């Protein structure tokens, strides 16, 4: 292996378990397609090597990217880099997804956890994984059982730290109670480090769909914020970010990244790109300085409620991530209709179906005194199978369990066997994190966090910091939005962004003003909108002396005012959350 010259990028700690990474990470997903067409190995290896030479040591991948080919590519790159200087993060849990139906299959069973870990180690060609995320939370499996197996993998030395991605506050707490979570990855209590993915809003703040066409093979073609007229409705957001970027003398993408970076030293955005010039621009966001006024200005300019994805009002139920129509319908009184094939007359993918298990009624009839609760795993499975058959569906959107099994199960065994060193969660709720953390320390929680995805700030971020879990915000550039994705460059036709809510259906156009504002702010800081978006996350805390990009409280406020979360048009993902 030839000697690689490395430039300095500040280093920060994720969580309280000892994981230390570069302040800016690199998301490898796009190298294998999704937002754009896949690049060949030579181009992919060149980008990864350039990132390392620039000082980035934290690389993020997953077994579902490609699928599997992304890990193989990263494994090839690692053979050209000093392994001991690289912090490698990968994930498990997403078995597959259907962009057309906007659904995904999740598996958090202990045996699946172990099998995925072993397979990833082989594809990556490494003996251990620095940060292992649960990519999405399996609602059919108690988080304690999944965490139990992850804990065993930590004890076996196959994993060093554990993280979660897109987890709800409740899930985060339950998982953290089993084993410390080091990082939480979000598109945006416990000392958990935050890894922000899509800090550019799926590329929106980089001009995706606005200054450049959306690639025909891109996921963004079906993304709620980039389709159905939503892109056009979101365009004003990009325009605002452009204006703000001009003020800070940077691009909208740099401003968007600066905003993310401003959020704190326990926040590490992982923007990805297939182009070296974009990589260099992203790194340049570290030089963007934002004051609190700047952050407020960005947030006010890009309000989340302004982001368009659907015309019908939708709300979240509790803290589990389920998003439904504002008005629901209770079917209990329609006993005849319940067993009728009503769903066969409706588009299944647009219906959020909820049913329950756990209350046992002897004799099959309800009684205020003659009933009891059963939360055993085998009973839960039997009930689910029976409900699926009666309803005539392949899956249940929301499955209520009246009582949760407190055991950790297989995840803890994996840690005890030494096959995993540290356990991480992905997209978990606070309760799940606490419960999992009690069984085995969770090292990292992976959640989405960016200028246009900030819903984790109120509960999940404080929870992670309380428990000392590192937070890994994925998509800190908002799926590339703050890097110009769909705004200054086209979204590939064969990528995930083609169907992303914020890049499709007219939403990209509606979100464009957010990028414009960021662009104007970026000019002020002599950086790109993407760099500013990352700088925003970096500078949320005051301890930023070692960072190249320094934002004052006024800067942070200005950026926040310019990119107000409520102004972002479109859901933050094309998939209905299936994990919290």
Q: H or E stretch including 463?
A: helix 460-467
Mention every residue, 6+ apart, whose C-beta is less than 8 A from residue 369.
none
Q: Which residue has the tokens 């196959």?
A: 158
The pair of structure tokens assigned to 338 is 């319940």
SS (H, E, C) 16-62: CCCEEEECCCEECHHHHCCCCCCCCHHHHHHHHHHHHHCCCCEEECC
Instruction: Clarify whether 65 is annotated catalytic.
Output: yes
Q: Are 468 and 434 in contact (CB under 8 A)?
A: no
Q: H or E stretch including 386?
A: helix 377-391
> Nearest-CA neighbor of 513 among 456, 451, 468, 556?
451
The pair of structure tokens assigned to 469 is 């879990």
195 three-state secondary structure: strand
DSSP for 100-119?
TTTEEEE---HHHHHHHHHH
> Choosing from 35, 65, 161, 515, which is the catalytic residue?
65
Helices 276-284, 529-538: crossing angle, 10 deg rounding: 40
Q: Are 499 and 202 in contact (CB under 8 A)?
A: no
The pair of structure tokens assigned to 550 is 């320094």
Q: H or E stretch including 555?
A: helix 553-562
Q: Do the strands 87-92 and 423-426 form a parallel or antiparallel pair, or are they unpaired? A: unpaired
The pair of structure tokens assigned to 427 is 């997209």
> Nearest-CA neighbor of 197 among 542, 434, 483?
483
Mention every residue, 6+ apart, whose C-beta is less than 8 A from residue 77.
44, 45, 48, 49, 59
How far, CA to CA in Å, does 170 sit from each of 17, 30, 176, 464? 21, 30, 10, 11
The dihedrals phi and psi of 98, each to the nearest 5 degrees, come to -120, 105
Instruction: Return d(Cα 219, Cα 156) in angstroms, integer.
Output: 37
439 three-state secondary structure: helix
Instruction: Return d(Cα 104, Cα 70) in angstroms, integer.
Output: 19
Sign of the C-alpha dihedral computed for residues 285, 287, 291 and 294 taken in this order: negative
563 three-state secondary structure: coil
Catalytic residues: 65
């Amino acid at each position: 292996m030839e000697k690689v010259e490395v430039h300095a990028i500040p280093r920060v700690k994720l969580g309280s378990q000892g994981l230390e990474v570069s302040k800016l990470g690199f998301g490898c997903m796009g190298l294998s397609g999704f937002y754009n067409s896949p690049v060949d190995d030579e181009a992919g290896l060149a980008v990864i090597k350039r990132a390392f030479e620039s000082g980035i040591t934290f690389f993020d991948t997953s077994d579902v990217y490609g699928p599997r080919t992304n890990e193989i590519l990263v494994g090839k790159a690692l053979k050209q880099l000093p392994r001991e200087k690289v912090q490698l993060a990968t994930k498990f849990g997403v078995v597959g997804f259907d962009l057309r139906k906007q659904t995904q299959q999740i598996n958090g069973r202990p045996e699946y956890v172990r099998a995925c870990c072993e397979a990833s180690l082989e594809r990556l060609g490494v003996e251990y994984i620095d940060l292992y995320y649960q990519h999405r939370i399996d609602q059919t499996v108690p988080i304690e059982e999944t965490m139990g197996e992850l804990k065993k993998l930590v004890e076996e030395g196959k994993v060093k730290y554990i993280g979660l991605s897109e987890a709800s506050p409740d899930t985060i707490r339950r998982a953290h109670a089993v084993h410390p979570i080091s990082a939480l990855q979000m598109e945006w209590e416990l000392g958990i480090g935050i890894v922000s993915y899509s800090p550019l809003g799926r590329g929106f703040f980089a001009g995706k769909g606005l200054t450049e066409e959306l690639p025909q093979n891109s996921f963004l073609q079906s993304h709620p914020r980039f389709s159905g007229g939503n892109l056009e409705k979101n365009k004003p957001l990009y325009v605002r970010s452009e204006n703000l970027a001009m003020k800070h003398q940077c691009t909208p993408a740099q401003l968007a990244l600066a905003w993310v970076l401003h959020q704190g030293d326990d926040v590490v955005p992982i923007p990805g790109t297939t182009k070296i010039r974009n990589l260099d621009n992203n790194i340049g966001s570290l030089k963007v300085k934002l004051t609190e006024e700047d952050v407020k200005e960005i947030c006010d300019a890009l309000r989340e409620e302004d982001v368009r994805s659907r015309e019908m009002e939708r709300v979240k139920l509790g803290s589990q991530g389920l998003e439904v129509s504002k008005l629901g319908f209770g079917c209990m009184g329609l006993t005849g209709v319940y067993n009728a094939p009503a769903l066969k007359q409706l588009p299944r993918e647009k219906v959020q179906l909820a049913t329950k298990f756990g209350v046992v009624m002897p004799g099959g009839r309800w009684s205020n005194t003659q009933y009891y609760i059963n939360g055993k795993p085998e009973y839960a499975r039997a009930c689910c199978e029976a409900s699926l058959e009666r309803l005539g569906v392949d899956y249940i959107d929301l499955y209520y369990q009246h009582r949760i099994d407190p055991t950790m199960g297989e995840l803890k065994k994996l840690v005890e066997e030494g096959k995993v060193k540290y356990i991480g969660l992905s997209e978990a709720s606070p309760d799940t994190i606490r419960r999992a953390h009690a069984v085995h320390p969770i090292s990292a929680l992976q959640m989405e966090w960016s200028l246009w995805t900030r819903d984790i700030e109120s509960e999940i971020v404080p929870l992670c910091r309380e428990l000392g879990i590192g937070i890994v915000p994925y998509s800190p550039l908002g799926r590339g939005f703050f890097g110009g994705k769909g705004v200054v460059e086209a979204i590939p036709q064969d990528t995930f962004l083609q169907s992303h809510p914020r890049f499709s259906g007219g939403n990209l156009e509606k979100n464009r003003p957010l990028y414009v504002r960021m662009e104007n702010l970026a000019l002020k800081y002599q950086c790109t909108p993407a760099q500013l978006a990352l700088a925003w996350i970096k500078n949320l805390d005051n301890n930023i002396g070692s960072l190249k990009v320094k934002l004052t409280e006024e800067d942070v406020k200005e950026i926040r005012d310019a990119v107000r979360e409520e102004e972002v048009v479109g859901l933050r993902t094309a998939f209905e959350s299936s994990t919290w």
